[in-house]
Structure 1
Amino acid sequence: MTSAYCTVLSKGRLYQAIALFGSLKAVQADAPIFTLCMDQDTYDVLQAMRQDNVTLIQMSALENEELLELKRTRDQSEYCWTVKPVFLEFVLDGHPELERVTYIDADLFFFADPRAIFDNQPDCSVLLSRGDIVIPSFEKQEIDMLQRLLGRYNSGFLSFKTDSAGTDCLRWWKERCLEECKNAPGEGKFGDQGYLDYMSGLFPNVCDITTPGVNIGHWNYGRHTFSWKDGRLVLEDGSPLIFYHFSGYRIVTAGDIRQIHETDRTDLPFVHQLYQDILKRVIGTVSAVCPEFSGFASEDDNK
């Protein structure tokens, strides 16, 4: 094992995480995924599901006095974001054979092998996903303001090599998140994400991902069209759609799967329907294995 993926997961995203695991296995069968379970329900369900190549880590293995103190002062989103770089460093410390560790959000879904991302930029110590906002219905002034508040990058997918630049950058990110990780957009800071803007100015070999088809989501799908070609999903230039970031989904019931960022749109890309159909199957599978578990969101869960 020279490369691994990591995710931080709570019960409200468990259905999406299982969809993520299945999608990654379909395109990279041997991909190891280290999963930090933020609650006991998440750990118990995933243990019962016996996901191939998924290593489960309980919070008790990670939490120390400093984290437990922060846990008392930060909401659930803030605490999940806080522990992301801590968890990446934890995995690297326990697996010195790793040459790369990549963080993936639970609401990603892979359609093609992501190893092309790393193969295309082998000299980069850190790989960041641009979060450029492209929403046709927004005025330029609105977009510029959002970009300043949310940052230039999206923290749902970022990768660190275990060279000195990569580990130094990861340690710096961890220290910043421990200092402050607020669930409130602000210029230069937003959760764990705003700090990504500063990495390239502080560390060498920090690169924007240049491979197309990476981390497309509600903030930028307006610049793309999707179609099937030879049995795979491709972009307008024929490049494969490697993964889509289905941010903003709330699963209220098996029959009520909502996209809270696009409530007034009726023309979402067809990949959303594919994803919703997969989530419904996942919910059925989890219910069959763990009938008492409910990972459904509440009606007012719009964070």
Structure 2
Amino acid sequence: MTGKQVIYCTYFDQGYLLKGLSLYSSFIRHHPSASLWILCFDDSTYNILFKMQLKNVTLVSLSQFEDPLLLAVKKTRSLVEYYWTCTPSLPLYIFRRNPQVQFVCYLDADLYFFSDLTPVWEEFAKGSIYTVEHRFPPGQEDRVNTSGRFNVGFQIFRRDKQGLVCLRRWRRQCLDWCYWRHEDGKLGDQLYLNEWPSLYSNLVISKNLGVNTAPWNIGQYSASLKGDRPYINDDKLICYHFHQFKITSPLKFDFASGYYLSFPVKKYIYTPYVQELRLQYNRVKKIDPSFSVPSSQTSFVKIPQWASKWAGPLFWKIVQSTAKKRNTFTT
């Protein structure tokens, strides 16, 4: 896929600045000619990124992005709910401003790339929409009812009838209802994706285990290193979704509360990410010496409510406490 045909995009605020920079660094390492658009949800993020003069990046301020319909619902949403409300609007915003662009690929800010996207574009082929299932492990299939069949974290849309109809419908749905609670089969921006297979014949559902791999499914796979690249079973790891990853201080990280991570996963996937975050922290401090790790980084976390429903709140607290001890890493 040529650089002029596709634009990649993401969004984040200062709470996810280090993660967003890590996404950028890993992405551009494997896609040096690609274009990445970043929607900055606060002025601090915009100003820091502007000073960094990142290669192949287009910054979008909130004032540039927001339209009357988004502004009309903004006061009815919490911060995270408003961010989710904006998800489908960002690819549409990019399509409108770039008539020559045929594809927009949305990336969650807590993704990190370990190899290039060539297999994804080969798999996508002539599709209109590309999405990735959560791929919950055996015995946890009922989590689809609470978290959805698909994860929003990695999406591709083609500028064709189905791609644009999908985006416009999703935007209308999120404008109408996008809250951090379950209601009538909805949750945030994510459960709307459940209907896509029945609506869009040109939807491509990824079969590649190395795309949007995440702590909620990594436990059922074998993680290994072949040459200098991590693999998930027989698939090269393309991008990993660092869901529930917390930066508790510049030197300390909570990997994934509530999830078991094997030693190979920690070594081949999480350790490089920690090293990248430390590097980005030092870069930001040079630009803005007053920068500190935000005390709250929950903006983009969808809590796995299946846990409390499955075994009760008390058990979930015990699981979180145990996992936190197991997955905390100090450099």
Q: State if a TM-score over 0.5 links the two structures.
A: yes
Q: Letter of the 1:223 partner, please give it.
A: Q
Q: How does 1:234-245 map to 2 (within 5 A)?
A: 234-237=231-234, 239-245=235-241
Q: Offset at 1:188?
A: 2.6
Whole-Å separation in 1 of the counterparts to 2:243 and 2:259: 13
Q: 2:228 aligns with which of 228, 231, 238?
A: 231
Show the counterpart of 1:118: 121
**TM-score in terms of structure 2 length:** 0.84
Which consecutive segments of 4 or more residues in structure 1 shift more than 4 A? 263-268, 299-303
Q: In structure 2, how many angstroms separate the alpha carbons of the residues matched to 1:275 and 1:210?
A: 24
**Corresponding residue number in structure 1 for 2:287:** 289
1:195 lines up with 2:192 in the alignment = yes
CA distance, structure 2, for counterparts of residue 48 and residue 176 of structure 1: 36
Give structure 2 stretches of 5+ with no counterpart: 302-331
Q: 2-side partners of 1:187 and 1:132: how far apart?
A: 23
- Per-residue deviation at 1:92? 0.3
Aligned residue type for 1:28: H
Paired position in structure 1 for 2:321: none
Give the match for residue 257 of structure 2.
261
When the two structures are superposed, what TM-score results if normalisation uses the length of structure 1?
Answer: 0.91
Q: Structure 1 residue 150: deviation in Å?
A: 0.8
Measure the CA separation in 2 of the matches of 1:206 and 1:299: 33
Aligned residues: 296
Q: Which moved more, 1:99-108 or 1:113-122?
A: 113-122
Shift of 1:266: 7.3
Cα distance in 1 for residues equivalent to 2:114 and 2:202: 28
Q: Normalized per residue, which structure has more helix?
A: 2
Whether contact under 8 Å (2:255, 2:270) holds in the other structure is no
Alpha-carbon contact 1:183-1:191 (below 8 Å) kept: yes
- Distance in 1, matches of 2:258 and 2:25, equals 25
Q: CA deviation at 1:187?
A: 6.2
Residues 260/225 of structure 1: CA separation in 2 closer, same or farther (3 Å cut): closer
**1:254 CA displacement:** 0.1
Q: Does 1:218 align with 2:211?
A: no
Q: Which residue of 1 aligns with 2:151?
A: 154
Which digits, 9 at most, give the CA deviation of each residue in 1:173-231, with x for residues without a partner? Answer: 11111111111245631211101111121122012012331111011001222222122
Identity of aligned residues (%): 30
Aligned to 2:278: 280
Whether contact under 8 Å (1:149, 1:185) holds in the other structure is yes
- Per the alignment, residue 85 of structure 2 pairs with 82
Alignment partner, residue 127 of structure 1? 130
Question: How far, CA to CA, are the matches of 2:142 and 2:236 in structure 1?
Answer: 31
C-alpha change, 1:263 and 1:230, in structure 2 (3 Å) is closer
